[in-house]
Structure 1
Amino acid sequence: MSEETPLDTARLWVEFPDPDDVERGLSAEEGADTVYRIDLTWLTSDYTCIFGNGCPGIYADRPDVGCCALGAHFTEKADEKRVAKIVKKLTPETWQFFEEGQKENGGWTEVEDGARKTRVHQGGCILANRPGFAAGAGCALHQQALRDGVDPLEHKPDVCWQLPLKRSYRTVTRGDGTTYLEVSIAEYDRRGWGEGGHDLDWYCTGNPAAHIGTRPVFRSCENELREMIGDRPYEELARHCEALVSRSRDGSAHRRLLPLTVHPADPGRAGR
Protein backbone atom coordinates (compact mmCIF):
# COMPACT_ATOMS: atom_id res chain seq x y z
CA MET A 1 0.00 0.00 0.00
CA SER A 2 1.35 3.40 -0.98
CA GLU A 3 2.53 5.96 1.54
CA GLU A 4 0.11 8.59 2.82
CA THR A 5 0.84 12.22 1.94
CA PRO A 6 1.30 15.07 4.46
CA LEU A 7 -1.82 16.75 5.83
CA ASP A 8 -0.64 20.29 5.23
CA THR A 9 0.18 21.18 1.64
CA ALA A 10 -0.48 24.23 -0.55
CA ARG A 11 -3.98 24.20 -2.06
CA LEU A 12 -6.17 26.31 -4.27
CA TRP A 13 -9.38 27.68 -2.74
CA VAL A 14 -12.19 29.80 -4.14
CA GLU A 15 -14.81 31.91 -2.34
CA PHE A 16 -18.10 33.02 -3.82
CA PRO A 17 -21.28 34.56 -2.39
CA ASP A 18 -24.50 32.57 -2.19
CA PRO A 19 -26.10 32.97 -5.66
CA ASP A 20 -29.53 33.32 -4.06
CA ASP A 21 -28.30 36.19 -1.87
CA VAL A 22 -26.85 37.94 -4.92
CA GLU A 23 -30.06 37.56 -6.90
CA ARG A 24 -32.19 38.92 -4.08
CA GLY A 25 -29.83 41.84 -3.56
CA LEU A 26 -29.39 41.02 0.10
CA SER A 27 -26.59 42.86 1.86
CA ALA A 28 -24.36 42.21 4.82
CA GLU A 29 -26.21 44.93 6.73
CA GLU A 30 -29.39 42.88 6.42
CA GLY A 31 -27.61 39.92 7.98
CA ALA A 32 -28.20 37.59 5.04
CA ASP A 33 -24.69 37.22 3.60
CA THR A 34 -23.40 33.70 3.04
CA VAL A 35 -20.05 32.99 1.40
CA TYR A 36 -18.97 29.55 0.25
CA ARG A 37 -15.29 28.63 0.63
CA ILE A 38 -14.34 25.69 -1.54
CA ASP A 39 -11.20 23.53 -1.66
CA LEU A 40 -10.73 23.23 -5.42
CA THR A 41 -7.65 21.04 -5.08
CA TRP A 42 -9.73 18.43 -3.24
CA LEU A 43 -12.89 18.65 -5.31
CA THR A 44 -11.03 18.28 -8.61
CA SER A 45 -8.97 15.34 -7.34
CA ASP A 46 -9.45 11.76 -8.58
CA TYR A 47 -10.22 10.37 -5.10
CA THR A 48 -12.67 7.48 -4.94
CA CYS A 49 -13.75 5.12 -2.17
CA ILE A 50 -11.94 1.78 -2.53
CA PHE A 51 -13.96 -0.22 0.01
CA GLY A 52 -13.97 -3.78 -1.28
CA ASN A 53 -11.24 -2.91 -3.75
CA GLY A 54 -8.09 -3.00 -1.69
CA CYS A 55 -9.15 -0.86 1.29
CA PRO A 56 -7.22 -2.11 4.36
CA GLY A 57 -9.56 -0.36 6.82
CA ILE A 58 -8.74 2.37 9.28
CA TYR A 59 -7.60 -0.30 11.78
CA ALA A 60 -5.28 -3.07 10.67
CA ASP A 61 -7.09 -5.70 12.75
CA ARG A 62 -10.50 -4.83 11.26
CA PRO A 63 -9.99 -4.56 7.50
CA ASP A 64 -13.41 -5.96 6.61
CA VAL A 65 -15.32 -2.92 7.91
CA GLY A 66 -13.31 -0.19 6.22
CA CYS A 67 -13.99 3.12 8.00
CA CYS A 68 -17.09 1.70 9.75
CA ALA A 69 -15.11 0.44 12.74
CA LEU A 70 -16.29 3.09 15.21
CA GLY A 71 -20.00 3.36 14.47
CA ALA A 72 -21.70 6.56 13.31
CA HIS A 73 -22.64 9.46 15.59
CA PHE A 74 -26.00 11.05 14.80
CA THR A 75 -25.92 14.75 14.00
CA GLU A 76 -29.37 15.38 15.50
CA LYS A 77 -32.57 13.61 16.54
CA ALA A 78 -33.98 13.88 13.04
CA ASP A 79 -30.93 12.04 11.69
CA GLU A 80 -31.46 9.10 14.05
CA LYS A 81 -35.21 9.06 13.41
CA ARG A 82 -34.69 8.90 9.65
CA VAL A 83 -32.21 6.04 9.95
CA ALA A 84 -34.47 4.17 12.40
CA LYS A 85 -37.21 4.02 9.75
CA ILE A 86 -34.82 2.31 7.36
CA VAL A 87 -33.55 -0.12 10.01
CA LYS A 88 -37.15 -1.32 10.43
CA LYS A 89 -37.14 -2.32 6.75
CA LEU A 90 -34.13 -4.61 7.16
CA THR A 91 -34.60 -8.36 7.45
CA PRO A 92 -32.43 -11.32 8.46
CA GLU A 93 -31.72 -11.78 4.74
CA THR A 94 -30.45 -8.21 4.26
CA TRP A 95 -28.83 -7.52 7.64
CA GLN A 96 -26.27 -9.92 9.07
CA PHE A 97 -26.80 -8.83 12.67
CA PHE A 98 -30.58 -8.55 12.50
CA GLU A 99 -31.20 -10.66 15.61
CA GLU A 100 -28.55 -8.83 17.64
CA GLY A 101 -30.03 -5.52 16.58
CA GLN A 102 -33.43 -6.44 18.01
CA LYS A 103 -32.22 -7.19 21.54
CA GLU A 104 -33.64 -4.92 24.23
CA ASN A 105 -30.31 -4.78 26.05
CA GLY A 106 -28.33 -4.36 22.89
CA GLY A 107 -30.12 -3.03 19.88
CA TRP A 108 -28.51 -1.12 17.04
CA THR A 109 -27.72 2.12 18.90
CA GLU A 110 -25.63 3.05 21.91
CA VAL A 111 -24.50 6.10 23.86
CA GLU A 112 -20.83 7.04 23.90
CA ASP A 113 -19.61 10.01 25.94
CA GLY A 114 -23.18 11.29 26.09
CA ALA A 115 -23.72 11.12 22.32
CA ARG A 116 -25.99 8.68 20.50
CA LYS A 117 -24.54 6.58 17.70
CA THR A 118 -24.84 3.29 15.90
CA ARG A 119 -23.64 0.42 18.06
CA VAL A 120 -20.27 -1.25 17.60
CA HIS A 121 -20.59 -5.04 17.43
CA GLN A 122 -17.79 -7.51 16.73
CA GLY A 123 -15.31 -4.78 15.90
CA GLY A 124 -17.44 -2.65 13.62
CA CYS A 125 -20.75 -0.88 13.09
CA ILE A 126 -23.57 -3.32 13.71
CA LEU A 127 -25.10 -2.26 10.39
CA ALA A 128 -22.01 -3.30 8.42
CA ASN A 129 -22.42 -6.73 6.85
CA ARG A 130 -19.18 -8.70 6.78
CA PRO A 131 -17.61 -10.69 3.91
CA GLY A 132 -19.32 -14.03 3.42
CA PHE A 133 -22.82 -12.78 4.27
CA ALA A 134 -25.27 -13.88 1.58
CA ALA A 135 -26.50 -10.36 0.79
CA GLY A 136 -22.95 -9.12 0.38
CA ALA A 137 -20.46 -7.18 2.47
CA GLY A 138 -20.95 -3.51 3.23
CA CYS A 139 -23.44 -1.16 4.84
CA ALA A 140 -26.91 -2.73 5.12
CA LEU A 141 -28.46 0.73 4.85
CA HIS A 142 -26.54 1.48 1.64
CA GLN A 143 -27.62 -1.83 0.17
CA GLN A 144 -31.25 -1.16 1.15
CA ALA A 145 -31.12 2.18 -0.65
CA LEU A 146 -29.98 0.44 -3.83
CA ARG A 147 -32.85 -2.03 -3.52
CA ASP A 148 -35.26 0.86 -2.97
CA GLY A 149 -33.89 2.69 -6.01
CA VAL A 150 -32.90 5.82 -4.06
CA ASP A 151 -29.62 7.57 -3.39
CA PRO A 152 -27.83 6.05 -0.35
CA LEU A 153 -27.69 9.49 1.30
CA GLU A 154 -31.43 9.15 1.94
CA HIS A 155 -30.90 6.05 4.10
CA LYS A 156 -27.51 6.47 5.80
CA PRO A 157 -26.52 8.58 8.84
CA ASP A 158 -25.38 12.09 7.90
CA VAL A 159 -21.76 11.51 8.88
CA CYS A 160 -21.60 8.41 6.69
CA TRP A 161 -22.91 9.81 3.43
CA GLN A 162 -21.01 13.08 3.82
CA LEU A 163 -17.61 11.36 4.10
CA PRO A 164 -15.14 12.20 2.47
CA LEU A 165 -16.58 15.75 2.30
CA LYS A 166 -16.33 18.05 5.30
CA ARG A 167 -18.73 20.95 5.76
CA SER A 168 -17.96 23.54 8.41
CA TYR A 169 -19.35 26.92 9.41
CA ARG A 170 -17.92 30.05 10.96
CA THR A 171 -18.97 33.68 11.30
CA VAL A 172 -16.48 36.10 9.72
CA THR A 173 -16.28 39.78 10.65
CA ARG A 174 -15.20 42.22 7.96
CA GLY A 175 -13.14 45.32 8.57
CA ASP A 176 -16.27 47.49 8.58
CA GLY A 177 -17.85 45.42 11.35
CA THR A 178 -20.35 43.59 9.13
CA THR A 179 -20.40 39.82 9.27
CA TYR A 180 -21.17 36.91 7.01
CA LEU A 181 -21.59 33.15 7.37
CA GLU A 182 -18.73 31.21 5.80
CA VAL A 183 -19.62 27.70 4.66
CA SER A 184 -16.52 25.64 3.86
CA ILE A 185 -16.48 22.47 1.79
CA ALA A 186 -13.20 20.62 2.09
CA GLU A 187 -11.51 17.25 2.48
CA TYR A 188 -12.50 15.10 5.44
CA ASP A 189 -8.94 14.24 6.32
CA ARG A 190 -7.63 12.54 9.46
CA ARG A 191 -8.27 15.68 11.53
CA GLY A 192 -11.98 15.45 10.77
CA TRP A 193 -12.11 12.44 13.09
CA GLY A 194 -10.87 14.47 16.04
CA GLU A 195 -7.73 13.74 18.03
CA GLY A 196 -8.11 10.01 17.38
CA GLY A 197 -7.76 10.55 13.66
CA HIS A 198 -4.01 10.68 13.99
CA ASP A 199 -4.03 7.19 15.51
CA LEU A 200 -5.79 5.47 12.60
CA ASP A 201 -3.63 2.75 11.05
CA TRP A 202 -4.60 3.85 7.53
CA TYR A 203 -6.70 6.55 5.97
CA CYS A 204 -7.81 7.00 2.39
CA THR A 205 -8.16 10.67 1.40
CA GLY A 206 -4.44 11.38 1.53
CA ASN A 207 -3.33 8.04 0.09
CA PRO A 208 -2.49 7.60 -3.61
CA ALA A 209 -4.13 4.15 -3.48
CA ALA A 210 -7.53 5.88 -3.34
CA HIS A 211 -6.81 8.52 -5.99
CA ILE A 212 -7.70 6.28 -8.91
CA GLY A 213 -11.19 7.51 -9.73
CA THR A 214 -12.44 8.13 -13.26
CA ARG A 215 -14.32 11.31 -12.31
CA PRO A 216 -13.28 14.28 -10.15
CA VAL A 217 -14.81 14.43 -6.68
CA PHE A 218 -17.12 17.34 -7.51
CA ARG A 219 -18.83 15.07 -10.06
CA SER A 220 -18.63 11.71 -8.28
CA CYS A 221 -20.06 13.34 -5.13
CA GLU A 222 -22.48 15.66 -6.93
CA ASN A 223 -25.58 14.39 -5.10
CA GLU A 224 -23.90 14.77 -1.73
CA LEU A 225 -22.71 18.28 -2.53
CA ARG A 226 -26.14 19.36 -3.74
CA GLU A 227 -27.64 18.05 -0.51
CA MET A 228 -25.03 19.86 1.58
CA ILE A 229 -25.17 23.31 -0.02
CA GLY A 230 -28.12 23.39 -2.42
CA ASP A 231 -28.49 23.30 -6.19
CA ARG A 232 -27.54 26.86 -7.15
CA PRO A 233 -24.42 27.00 -4.96
CA TYR A 234 -23.43 23.60 -6.35
CA GLU A 235 -23.73 24.84 -9.92
CA GLU A 236 -21.44 27.76 -9.07
CA LEU A 237 -19.01 25.38 -7.35
CA ALA A 238 -19.03 23.11 -10.40
CA ARG A 239 -18.37 26.08 -12.70
CA HIS A 240 -15.19 26.93 -10.81
CA CYS A 241 -14.11 23.28 -10.72
CA GLU A 242 -14.70 22.87 -14.44
CA ALA A 243 -12.40 25.83 -15.03
CA LEU A 244 -9.58 23.67 -13.68
CA VAL A 245 -10.20 20.67 -15.91
CA SER A 246 -9.71 20.30 -19.63
CA ARG A 247 -11.64 17.99 -21.89
CA SER A 248 -10.02 15.44 -24.16
CA ARG A 249 -11.26 14.67 -27.65
CA ASP A 250 -13.50 11.90 -26.34
CA GLY A 251 -15.18 14.37 -23.97
CA SER A 252 -13.74 12.99 -20.74
CA ALA A 253 -12.49 15.49 -18.17
CA HIS A 254 -8.95 15.64 -16.86
CA ARG A 255 -7.45 18.07 -14.41
CA ARG A 256 -4.83 20.47 -15.63
CA LEU A 257 -1.69 19.43 -13.80
CA LEU A 258 -0.80 22.89 -12.51
CA PRO A 259 0.65 23.90 -9.12
CA LEU A 260 -1.95 23.90 -6.33
CA THR A 261 -4.59 22.19 -8.47
CA VAL A 262 -3.20 18.67 -8.07
CA HIS A 263 -3.97 16.85 -4.82
CA PRO A 264 -0.77 15.71 -3.07
CA ALA A 265 -1.97 12.10 -3.15
CA ASP A 266 -2.45 12.09 -6.93
CA PRO A 267 -0.16 9.33 -8.26
CA GLY A 268 0.76 11.58 -11.21
CA ARG A 269 2.05 14.38 -9.00
CA ALA A 270 5.52 12.89 -8.56
CA GLY A 271 8.19 14.88 -10.28
CA ARG A 272 6.12 18.07 -10.73
Structure 2
Amino acid sequence: MTLADNPRKNEVALDFPREWIEFLDPDDPDILIRADLTWLLSGWSCIFASGCHGINPGGAADGCCTHGAFFTDADDVKRVRKAAARLTPETWQHYRPRFKDATETDELDNDEGEPEPALRTATVDGACIFHNRLGFDGGFGCALHAQALRDGVHPLEYKPDVCWQLPIKRDYEKLRHADGTEKQVVVITEFDRRGWGEGGHDLHWWCTSAPEAHTGKVALYESYAAELAELIGKPAYDRLVELCQARRKSGLIAIHPATARNEPNGL
Protein backbone atom coordinates (compact mmCIF):
# COMPACT_ATOMS: atom_id res chain seq x y z
CA MET A 1 0.00 0.00 0.00
CA THR A 2 1.44 3.37 -1.04
CA LEU A 3 1.39 6.65 0.83
CA ALA A 4 -1.28 7.90 -1.58
CA ASP A 5 -3.50 4.96 -0.60
CA ASN A 6 -3.07 5.51 3.12
CA PRO A 7 -1.44 8.92 3.68
CA ARG A 8 -2.19 9.03 7.40
CA LYS A 9 0.22 6.16 8.07
CA ASN A 10 3.04 8.69 7.89
CA GLU A 11 1.47 11.11 10.38
CA VAL A 12 3.06 11.59 13.79
CA ALA A 13 1.15 10.94 17.02
CA LEU A 14 -1.15 13.66 18.32
CA ASP A 15 0.47 13.82 21.74
CA PHE A 16 4.16 14.58 22.25
CA PRO A 17 6.26 16.98 24.36
CA ARG A 18 5.48 20.59 23.52
CA GLU A 19 7.05 23.83 24.65
CA TRP A 20 4.80 26.70 25.65
CA ILE A 21 5.44 30.31 26.54
CA GLU A 22 3.19 32.81 28.32
CA PHE A 23 3.29 36.59 28.16
CA LEU A 24 0.96 39.47 28.88
CA ASP A 25 -0.72 41.25 26.00
CA PRO A 26 1.10 44.61 25.69
CA ASP A 27 -2.26 46.26 25.01
CA ASP A 28 -4.09 44.68 27.96
CA PRO A 29 -2.32 43.31 31.08
CA ASP A 30 -5.48 41.41 31.98
CA ILE A 31 -4.97 39.15 28.96
CA LEU A 32 -2.39 36.37 29.06
CA ILE A 33 -1.21 34.89 25.77
CA ARG A 34 -0.26 31.21 25.98
CA ALA A 35 1.57 30.23 22.78
CA ASP A 36 2.63 26.80 21.58
CA LEU A 37 6.25 27.35 20.56
CA THR A 38 6.61 23.82 19.24
CA TRP A 39 3.90 24.58 16.69
CA LEU A 40 4.83 28.18 15.92
CA LEU A 41 8.48 27.25 15.37
CA SER A 42 7.59 24.27 13.21
CA GLY A 43 8.24 24.06 9.49
CA TRP A 44 4.58 23.54 8.55
CA SER A 45 3.42 25.17 5.32
CA CYS A 46 0.30 24.71 3.22
CA ILE A 47 0.91 22.27 0.36
CA PHE A 48 -2.45 22.65 -1.35
CA ALA A 49 -2.07 21.33 -4.92
CA SER A 50 1.56 20.52 -4.13
CA GLY A 51 1.34 17.17 -2.41
CA CYS A 52 -1.78 17.64 -0.30
CA HIS A 53 -3.69 14.35 -0.01
CA GLY A 54 -7.04 15.96 0.90
CA ILE A 55 -9.20 15.21 3.91
CA ASN A 56 -11.44 12.81 1.97
CA PRO A 57 -10.36 9.81 -0.12
CA GLY A 58 -9.95 10.87 -3.73
CA GLY A 59 -10.13 14.53 -2.74
CA ALA A 60 -6.51 15.57 -3.14
CA ALA A 61 -7.49 18.33 -5.55
CA ASP A 62 -9.98 19.68 -2.99
CA GLY A 63 -7.59 19.81 -0.04
CA CYS A 64 -9.50 20.82 3.09
CA CYS A 65 -12.21 22.55 1.00
CA THR A 66 -14.36 19.42 0.95
CA HIS A 67 -16.88 20.65 3.51
CA GLY A 68 -18.54 24.04 3.61
CA ALA A 69 -17.01 26.56 6.01
CA PHE A 70 -19.10 27.49 9.05
CA PHE A 71 -19.28 31.23 9.71
CA THR A 72 -18.23 32.40 13.15
CA ASP A 73 -20.51 35.41 13.48
CA ALA A 74 -22.43 38.11 11.62
CA ASP A 75 -19.25 40.06 10.85
CA ASP A 76 -17.75 36.98 9.20
CA VAL A 77 -20.85 36.61 7.01
CA LYS A 78 -20.83 40.31 6.11
CA ARG A 79 -17.16 40.28 5.10
CA VAL A 80 -17.48 37.20 2.90
CA ARG A 81 -20.71 38.47 1.33
CA LYS A 82 -18.94 41.69 0.36
CA ALA A 83 -16.01 39.75 -1.10
CA ALA A 84 -18.29 37.37 -3.02
CA ALA A 85 -19.97 40.35 -4.67
CA ARG A 86 -16.65 41.04 -6.41
CA LEU A 87 -16.70 37.64 -8.12
CA THR A 88 -18.03 37.00 -11.61
CA PRO A 89 -18.91 33.90 -13.64
CA GLU A 90 -15.42 34.20 -15.13
CA THR A 91 -13.69 34.04 -11.72
CA TRP A 92 -16.11 31.82 -9.79
CA GLN A 93 -16.98 28.46 -11.32
CA HIS A 94 -20.16 27.99 -9.28
CA TYR A 95 -21.21 31.62 -9.48
CA ARG A 96 -24.34 32.66 -7.59
CA PRO A 97 -25.64 36.22 -8.03
CA ARG A 98 -27.33 36.07 -4.61
CA PHE A 99 -25.04 35.34 -1.67
CA LYS A 100 -27.76 33.47 0.22
CA ASP A 101 -27.78 30.90 -2.59
CA ALA A 102 -24.13 30.19 -1.80
CA THR A 103 -24.88 29.32 1.84
CA GLU A 104 -26.72 26.58 3.71
CA THR A 105 -28.04 26.16 7.23
CA ASP A 106 -26.55 23.18 9.02
CA GLU A 107 -25.97 22.23 12.66
CA LEU A 108 -22.94 22.91 14.82
CA ASP A 109 -22.43 22.01 18.48
CA ASN A 110 -22.43 24.97 20.87
CA ASP A 111 -20.22 25.34 23.96
CA GLU A 112 -22.49 22.97 25.85
CA GLY A 113 -22.16 20.31 23.18
CA GLU A 114 -25.73 20.76 21.99
CA PRO A 115 -26.41 21.04 18.23
CA GLU A 116 -27.86 24.30 17.01
CA PRO A 117 -28.51 25.86 13.58
CA ALA A 118 -25.42 27.37 11.97
CA LEU A 119 -24.77 28.98 8.60
CA ARG A 120 -22.00 27.74 6.34
CA THR A 121 -20.93 27.96 2.74
CA ALA A 122 -22.81 25.51 0.54
CA THR A 123 -21.19 22.52 -1.15
CA VAL A 124 -21.36 21.51 -4.79
CA ASP A 125 -20.40 18.02 -5.96
CA GLY A 126 -18.52 17.25 -2.77
CA ALA A 127 -16.61 20.48 -2.17
CA CYS A 128 -17.15 24.08 -1.07
CA ILE A 129 -19.09 26.21 -3.53
CA PHE A 130 -16.22 28.73 -3.63
CA HIS A 131 -13.69 26.06 -4.65
CA ASN A 132 -12.93 26.29 -8.36
CA ARG A 133 -12.10 22.84 -9.73
CA LEU A 134 -9.14 21.79 -11.81
CA GLY A 135 -9.59 22.84 -15.42
CA PHE A 136 -11.74 25.91 -14.73
CA ASP A 137 -10.61 28.73 -17.02
CA GLY A 138 -10.85 31.26 -14.20
CA GLY A 139 -8.25 29.46 -12.12
CA PHE A 140 -8.01 26.53 -9.70
CA GLY A 141 -8.61 26.87 -5.96
CA CYS A 142 -10.57 29.20 -3.69
CA ALA A 143 -12.30 31.91 -5.71
CA LEU A 144 -12.26 34.25 -2.70
CA HIS A 145 -8.52 33.71 -2.15
CA ALA A 146 -7.77 34.40 -5.80
CA GLN A 147 -9.91 37.54 -5.80
CA ALA A 148 -8.06 38.88 -2.77
CA LEU A 149 -4.75 38.43 -4.56
CA ARG A 150 -6.10 40.18 -7.65
CA ASP A 151 -7.26 43.05 -5.45
CA GLY A 152 -3.90 43.26 -3.70
CA VAL A 153 -5.19 42.42 -0.22
CA HIS A 154 -4.46 39.55 2.14
CA PRO A 155 -6.83 36.59 1.67
CA LEU A 156 -7.93 36.80 5.33
CA GLU A 157 -9.88 39.91 4.35
CA TYR A 158 -12.09 37.90 1.98
CA LYS A 159 -12.24 34.29 3.23
CA PRO A 160 -14.36 32.84 6.06
CA ASP A 161 -12.63 33.00 9.44
CA VAL A 162 -12.16 29.26 9.74
CA CYS A 163 -10.47 29.09 6.32
CA TRP A 164 -7.78 31.68 6.95
CA GLN A 165 -7.18 30.70 10.58
CA LEU A 166 -6.39 27.05 9.83
CA PRO A 167 -4.16 25.40 10.90
CA ILE A 168 -3.85 27.72 13.92
CA LYS A 169 -6.28 27.12 16.75
CA ARG A 170 -7.27 29.93 19.09
CA ASP A 171 -8.97 29.04 22.35
CA TYR A 172 -10.06 31.09 25.34
CA GLU A 173 -9.66 30.09 28.97
CA LYS A 174 -10.11 31.79 32.33
CA LEU A 175 -7.24 31.80 34.81
CA ARG A 176 -8.20 32.34 38.45
CA HIS A 177 -5.46 32.87 41.01
CA ALA A 178 -5.68 31.91 44.67
CA ASP A 179 -5.99 35.60 45.60
CA GLY A 180 -9.20 35.86 43.57
CA THR A 181 -7.74 37.79 40.65
CA GLU A 182 -8.48 36.57 37.14
CA LYS A 183 -7.01 36.79 33.69
CA GLN A 184 -8.38 35.98 30.26
CA VAL A 185 -6.09 33.44 28.60
CA VAL A 186 -5.77 33.34 24.81
CA VAL A 187 -4.29 30.01 23.72
CA ILE A 188 -2.58 29.75 20.34
CA THR A 189 -1.75 26.22 19.24
CA GLU A 190 -1.96 23.60 16.50
CA PHE A 191 -5.32 22.78 14.93
CA ASP A 192 -4.80 19.03 14.89
CA ARG A 193 -7.35 16.33 14.10
CA ARG A 194 -9.03 16.87 17.46
CA GLY A 195 -9.84 20.45 16.53
CA TRP A 196 -12.49 19.15 14.13
CA GLY A 197 -14.31 17.29 16.90
CA GLU A 198 -14.95 13.55 16.87
CA GLY A 199 -15.05 13.49 13.08
CA GLY A 200 -11.47 14.69 12.88
CA HIS A 201 -10.18 11.23 13.67
CA ASP A 202 -11.88 9.92 10.53
CA LEU A 203 -10.25 12.34 8.12
CA HIS A 204 -8.42 10.63 5.27
CA TRP A 205 -5.36 12.81 6.00
CA TRP A 206 -4.54 15.87 8.05
CA CYS A 207 -1.59 18.08 7.26
CA THR A 208 -0.44 19.37 10.65
CA SER A 209 0.77 15.90 11.66
CA ALA A 210 2.24 15.04 8.26
CA PRO A 211 5.99 15.42 7.63
CA GLU A 212 5.33 16.16 3.95
CA ALA A 213 3.67 19.43 5.02
CA HIS A 214 6.57 20.40 7.30
CA THR A 215 8.96 21.53 4.60
CA GLY A 216 8.57 25.31 4.87
CA LYS A 217 11.63 27.51 4.46
CA VAL A 218 10.63 29.71 7.40
CA ALA A 219 8.96 28.99 10.74
CA LEU A 220 5.17 29.12 10.98
CA TYR A 221 5.19 32.23 13.18
CA GLU A 222 6.84 34.05 10.26
CA SER A 223 4.85 32.63 7.35
CA TYR A 224 1.57 33.25 9.21
CA ALA A 225 2.47 36.73 10.44
CA ALA A 226 -0.72 38.38 9.16
CA GLU A 227 -3.00 35.66 10.53
CA LEU A 228 -1.37 35.67 13.96
CA ALA A 229 -1.47 39.46 14.16
CA GLU A 230 -5.18 39.32 13.35
CA LEU A 231 -5.79 36.64 15.98
CA ILE A 232 -3.96 38.23 18.91
CA GLY A 233 -3.35 41.83 17.82
CA LYS A 234 -0.24 43.44 16.32
CA PRO A 235 1.44 44.44 19.63
CA ALA A 236 1.04 40.91 21.00
CA TYR A 237 2.31 39.42 17.74
CA ASP A 238 5.38 41.67 17.79
CA ARG A 239 6.14 40.45 21.32
CA LEU A 240 5.59 36.86 20.20
CA VAL A 241 8.13 37.34 17.42
CA GLU A 242 10.72 38.57 19.93
CA LEU A 243 10.13 35.53 22.14
CA CYS A 244 10.22 33.09 19.22
CA GLN A 245 13.47 34.55 17.96
CA ALA A 246 15.04 34.40 21.40
CA ARG A 247 13.93 30.82 21.92
CA ARG A 248 15.22 29.78 18.51
CA LYS A 249 18.65 31.19 19.36
CA SER A 250 18.73 29.20 22.60
CA GLY A 251 18.54 25.94 20.67
CA LEU A 252 16.40 24.32 23.37
CA ILE A 253 13.10 24.07 21.53
CA ALA A 254 10.94 20.94 21.79
CA ILE A 255 10.83 20.38 18.02
CA HIS A 256 7.60 19.26 16.35
CA PRO A 257 8.16 15.58 15.43
CA ALA A 258 6.79 16.10 11.91
CA THR A 259 9.31 18.90 11.34
CA ALA A 260 12.06 16.75 12.85
CA ARG A 261 11.45 14.11 10.17
CA ASN A 262 12.75 16.65 7.64
CA GLU A 263 14.95 18.95 9.72
CA PRO A 264 16.23 17.13 12.83
CA ASN A 265 17.58 20.36 14.31
CA GLY A 266 14.55 22.49 13.46
CA LEU A 267 14.41 25.61 11.32
Fold-level similarity (TM above 0.5): yes
Q: In the alignment, which residue of structure 1 is the partner of 2:216? A: 213
Alignment of 1:59 onto 2:56: yes
Residue 244 of structure 1 and its aligned partner are, at CA, apart by 2.8
For residue 79 of structure 1, the aligned residue among 67, 76, 81 is 76
- CA–CA distance in 2 between the matches of 1:133 and 1:191? 34
For residue 110 of structure 1, the aligned residue among 100, 104, 111 is 104
For residue 191 of structure 1, the aligned residue among 183, 187, 194 is 194
Q: Assess if the C-alpha contact under 8 Å between 2:69 and 2:160 holds in 1.
A: yes
Q: Assess if the C-alpha contact under 8 Å between 2:247 and 2:253 holds in 1.
A: no
Name which one, 1 or 2, has greater alpha-carbon Rg.
1
Q: Where do residues 214-253 of structure 1 align in structure 2 (5 Å cutoff)?
A: 214-246=217-249
Q: Assess if the C-alpha contact under 8 Å between 1:44 and 1:244 holds in 2.
A: no
Q: Give TM-score, length-normalised by structure 2.
A: 0.89
Q: Assess if the C-alpha contact under 8 Å between 2:145 and 2:159 holds in 1.
A: yes
Q: Assess, with a 3 A threshold, how the Cα gap between structure 1 residues 223 and 270 changes in structure 2: closer, same or farther.
A: closer
Partner amino acid, structure 2, of 1:91: T
Q: Assess, with a 3 A threshold, how the Cα gap between structure 1 residues 91 and 243 changes in structure 2: closer, same or farther.
A: same
Calculate percent identity across the aligned residue pairs: 49
Give the secondary-structure state (helix, strand or coil) at the position aligned to 2:81.
helix
Note the residue ranges of structure 1 that are not aligned, 5 or more in a row: 23-32, 247-254
Corresponding pairs, count: 249
Deviations 1:123-146 (A, max 9, x none): 000000011111221100000000
- CA–CA distance in 2 between the matches of 1:164 and 1:209? 15
Residue 89 of structure 1 and its aligned partner are, at CA, apart by 1.1
For the aligned residues, what is the CA RMSD?
Answer: 1.9
Residue 86 of structure 1 and its aligned partner are, at CA, apart by 1.1
Give the secondary-structure state (helix, strand or coil) at the position aligned to 1:60.
coil
- CA–CA distance in 2 between the matches of 1:69 and 1:243? 39
Partner amino acid, structure 2, of 1:50: I
Partner amino acid, structure 1, of 2:71: F
- CA–CA distance in 2 between the matches of 1:178 and 1:205? 36
Q: Where do residues 1-272 of structure 1 align in structure 2 (5 Å cutoff)?
A: 1=3, 3-22=10-29, 33-98=30-95, 101-102=96-97, 107-113=101-107, 114-246=117-249, 256=251, 258=252, 260=254, 262-266=255-259, 267-268=261-262
- CA–CA distance in 1 between the matches of 2:11 and 2:19? 20
Q: Assess, with a 3 A threshold, how the Cα gap between structure 1 residues 55 and 268 changes in structure 2: closer, same or farther.
A: closer
Q: Assess if the C-alpha contact under 8 Å between 2:214 and 2:262 holds in 1.
A: no
Partner amino acid, structure 2, of 1:72: A
- CA–CA distance in 2 between the matches of 1:271 and 1:243? 16
Ranges of 4+ aligned residues in structure 1 off by more than 3 Å: 268-272
Residue 269 of structure 1 and its aligned partner are, at CA, apart by 6.1
Residue 103 of structure 1 and its aligned partner are, at CA, apart by 7.2
Q: Give TM-score, length-normalised by structure 1.
A: 0.87
Partner amino acid, structure 2, of 1:149: G
- CA–CA distance in 2 between the matches of 1:179 and 1:14? 19
Q: Assess if the C-alpha contact under 8 Å between 1:47 and 1:216 holds in 2.
A: yes
Give the secondary-structure state (helix, strand or coil) at the position aligned to 1:265.
helix
Residue 17 of structure 1 and its aligned partner are, at CA, apart by 1.0
Residue 172 of structure 1 and its aligned partner are, at CA, apart by 1.2
- CA–CA distance in 1 between the matches of 2:239 and 2:196? 29
Partner amino acid, structure 2, of 1:164: P
Residue 259 of structure 1 and its aligned partner are, at CA, apart by 5.6
Q: In the alignment, which residue of structure 2 is the partner of 1:250? A: none
Q: Assess, with a 3 A threshold, how the Cα gap between structure 1 residues 7 and 120 changes in structure 2: closer, same or farther.
A: same
